[in-house]
Amino acid sequence: MFSDYSLAELSSIFVMQGFAGLILFSVFLLMALGLAIIFGQMGVINMAHGEFMILGAYVTYFTSQFFLNFIPDLFSVYFFVAMILAFIASGALGMLVEWLMIRRLYKRPLDTLLATWGLSLILQQFYRSVFGPREVGVELPSWMMGSLPLTDVVEVQINGLFVMALTIVITIAVALLMYKSNWGKQVRAVVQNRMMASAVGINTEKVDRYTFGLGCGIAGIAGSAFTMIGSTGPTSGQLYIVDTFLVVVFGGAQSLLGTIASAFTISQAQSTMEFFLSGSTAKVLTLLSVVIILMLRPQGLFVIKVRR
């Protein structure tokens, strides 16, 4: 399979695929960060995660329409406004859902699976009724299109770079929030021992609500970013949910570092295999290796190294 290419070609292949892998890594990480908080920290199996992403995507779509129609001069920066609005919308919906539903289920983590699955169906139908069944596409400002040529075959896509930068910023922000801030300490205290945390004066209900809201808000940002590469329809969220859980579980659910490492491993493996094998085969092989590794290490790859 290597013999079809010359040495020079092979080296550009690895550079290109490495870069494609990095974009995939950013995408995976962006999808998984919100879930890592909700599932990893709170133990809620949130099957509606994809629908929170799609809400962010719809918000981005409507923001772009608004800018196009009312303030076309500022269209080039609409994306930043859209991301903030997506975060607020998904986060607010997340907090509402937590208050209505999730908080009654903390003692029954498996039931959260069913409840959030139902929620995802409800949200899908809601999107379909309100926004229509057809997929919508978001127009990008021109500076986000195109690519920077490095050599004549190797080109770096600008929106890929943008997603990467965004992922880095959000990952750092989440890490600081969880491990450096007072609020992060409270979250981890509540996760470890709810009674004790409550006894030392932490308002556990409030912490729960904001944590869930934060996870959903990050999903909204991810959805906003995905409008650059994918389409937005009522059921698009379903496309992401399996990969997202895969990344989080493989990494070791409670570890942020694990999530990063697992997103990196899966994306690079898949990207490289995709070049030499076919797309479907690469996906199957990736899934198979994840299954095998999880059989050997059910707790996930990186859980031990992390402070809990």
Residues 238 to 257 in contact with other proteins, rule: CB under 8 A: 238-239
Does 131 bind other proteins (CB under 8 A)? Our answer is no
Tokens of 150: 């490095």
Binding test (CB under 8 A) with other proteins, winner from 47, 83, 93, 136: 136
Within 8 A by CB and 6+ apart from 274, the residues are 17, 282
Name which of 129 and 181 has its Cβ closer to other proteins: 129
Tokens of 43: 């133990």
Does 50 bind other proteins (CB under 8 A)? Our answer is no
| 271 within 8 A of 17, measured Cβ to Cβ | yes
Give the HSE-up count for residue 196: Cα atoms under 13 Å, Cβ half-sphere: 8
C-alpha to C-alpha distance for 257 and 101, rounded to whole angstroms:
30
Binding test (CB under 8 A) with other proteins, winner from 216, 274, 290, 300: 274
DSSP secondary-structure letter at 39?
Answer: I
Q: Of the listed pieces 66-74, 80-88, 155-163, 213-221, which binds other proteins according to CB under 8 A? A: 155-163
Does 229 bind other proteins (CB under 8 A)? Our answer is yes
The interface mask with other proteins, positions 54-93, x = CB under 8 A, is ----------------------------------------
C-alpha to C-alpha distance for 257 and 158, rounded to whole angstroms:
27
Name which of 35 and 178 has its Cβ closer to other proteins: 35
Name which of 234 and 258 has its Cβ closer to other proteins: 234
Does 297 bind other proteins (CB under 8 A)? Our answer is no
Tokens of 227: 């409008």
Binding test (CB under 8 A) with other proteins, winner from 72, 165, 278, 306: 278
Does 47 bind other proteins (CB under 8 A)? Our answer is no
CA 230 to chain CA centroid, nearest Å: 14
Beta bridge partners of 157: 147
Identify the CA nearest to 244 among candidates 40, 21, 22, 20.
40
Q: Cα-flanking dihedrals φ and ψ of residue 232, to 5°?
A: -120, 115
Residues that bind other proteins (CB under 8 A): 5, 9, 12-13, 16-17, 19-20, 23-24, 27, 125, 128, 133-139, 145-147, 149, 153, 155, 157-160, 226, 228-236, 238-239, 271, 274-275, 278-280, 282-283
